[in-house]
Structure 1
């Protein structure tokens, strides 16, 4: 019910009314002790710390071939580079290997042939939904940050979490009382505190409402690092991506156009029309 309210509370008139009705029901349940009260935020402001530049290339694929087995090759002879001014969205059919490509960038996966070169001082941070599974929901966001970054003052950790729209009670309540979207913000705060120069985002908008997504997009656009994004949210892609790379047929090719052109291409390919 909480996710329905977040998703449809600002949609069409009919969906908004349904969301408002569910919100009233949820409020009654909270007052009656039938469900835990969820902490909500009033102001949504995300901020990533600018980190300066490294001389290019910061990440380079050199004749990279990869498959999970030699008989199942996902990519063949990839040659490309990513720099700190890159704003790339990876698109393509499910199973084409978009998330796999991110893991090759981080070094979590190793090519069968060729090499991935990374600048010695490059700091990479990757967001993916499995990070939420690692949160200790009995801890507060503040406790989690202080555990992950020991030796820091409490006020410093409060400020780090506050950069992603969590303040007051939301910082000190057990994270099980936070919405899924708020937990995602804790993860963003954890990643951002590492001051990455390259962000790899794998479906970052799951559980986020429109206002939160817009705040994320604004923060990314104001940040001076590099970005590689995997998302089914064409709206976010349109907001932040400057290049569209298509992953299919064992290759990665640059799309000559924006994401809306690519969306229309998919519709035409499927035989759809307005």
Structure 2
């Protein structure tokens, strides 16, 4: 482990992942889930593994840390197996792709863009061959049906039937299985006059000390046409601002004003912050929105739009993957 350079090498990795001279000395028990994941990632990189397995490593990273990790992995000279939902990240890091969509493994050379191009070409050829074979099958069946009792035609019909049987025995060309598409529908809502939500001279610090304010005299308004992104490094107060909007946190000075008819939908970084893990998805949404419907079949249909079907709807939330839990919140 080369103890003489241990701290400096660890510091380089941790700093790249967003830690500073203060947070690098913080106890992990006092960190959020996202920062703990960064420590775990740093640990995996530090040991210089011959096989590095990364499961969605950018999920808890801000943009700067993602850029640093991508550059680091570009120069990683051992075997890397990576799961990611970021196409840009896959393009920058990977040299091979493994497709597992159809519950079988298909290998592709190149990055994500090369994989999409090759796969599209293959699927186009597959559909051409499929339609050609289907046309041929229809033609053969029509000939067999029209052969009648003429001796020469009956002989030809039997010959064509053998061709058809051989095609089926060898396995017919299948149509391309389309990717699953989730349907998002946004119902019409009542138009509210501005400001729908307003911050008037807000000041806030978690310990109440003005010297530690995350915000001082902050004022802005949100209306029905607002589309706002909060950008900045971890720890500057992006999630805190959302919590002030929802009322989960109270400001020390100033006022948050909300229209009396405002309805808020909230999606958190961590699904466990919003879900009762002892309930199934069906139980959770029915109980949360019992004023809409008590019917399990209605909610079964709603969850089905997001890919949660059968056992996934009745399994306890604690047994579902993070992605499946996230779909429950979105749904």
Compared with structure 1, are the counterparts of its residues 5 and 138 closer, same or farther at alpha carbon in structure 2 (3 Å cutoff)? farther
Distance 1:42 1:176, change over 3 A: farther
In structure 2, the gaps of 5 or more residues are: 1-52, 57-81, 106-178
1:58 corresponding residue in structure 2: 196
CA contact 1:9–1:15 (8 Å) conserved in 2: no
Partner residue of 2:205? 67
Give the 5 Å matches for 1:106-255. Answer: 106-133=246-273, 135-137=275-277, 139-150=279-290, 152-189=294-331
1:171/1:49 CA distance change after superposition, 3 Å: farther
Structure 1-normalised TM-score? 0.53
Equivalent residue, structure 2, for 1:44: 182
Q: CA deviation at 1:85?
A: 1.0
SS at match of 1:89: coil
Q: Cα–Cα, structure 1 residues 178 and 85, in superposed 2: closer, same or farther, change >3 Å? A: same
Q: Secondary structure at the match of 1:62?
A: strand
CA distance in 1, matches of 2:235, 2:189: 34
Q: Closer, same or farther in 2 for the Cα pair 1:140/1:42, shift >3 Å?
A: farther
Assess if the C-alpha contact under 8 Å between 1:146 and 1:154 holds in 2. yes
Residue 97 of structure 1 corresponds to 237
Question: 1:15–1:147: structure 2 CA closer, same or farther, 3 Å change rule?
Answer: farther
**One of 87, 97, 122 as aligned partner of 1:16:** 97
Give, in angstroms, the shift of residue 89 of structure 1. Answer: 0.1
Aligned to 1:233: none
The alignment covers a number of residue pairs equal to 172
In structure 2, do the counterparts of structure 1 residues 148 and 137 end up closer, same or farther at CA, with 3 Å as the change threshold?
A: same
Secondary structure of the residue aligned to 2:284 is: helix
The higher radius of gyration belongs to 2
Instruction: Give the structure with the higher percent helix.
Output: 2
Q: Normalization by structure 2: what TM-score?
A: 0.45
Pairwise CA RMSD: 3.2
More strand by proportion, 1 or 2?
1
**1:201 alignment partner in structure 2:** none
Give how far 1:185 is off. Answer: 0.4
Q: In the aligned structure 2, how far is the partner of 1:105 from the partner of 1:186?
A: 22
Measured after TM superposition, the shift of residue 62 of structure 1 is 0.9
Provide closer, same or farther for how the CA distance between residues 148 and 54 of structure 1 changes in structure 2, counting only shifts above 3 A: same
Equivalent pair of 1:103/1:109 in contact (CA under 8 Å): yes
* Cα distance change, pair 170–122 in 1 and its aligned pair in 2 (3 A): same
Residue 227 of structure 1 corresponds to none
The match for 2:227 is 87
Q: How far did 1:99 drift?
A: 0.9
CA positional deviation for 1:119: 0.4
Off by >6 Å, runs of 4+ in structure 1: none
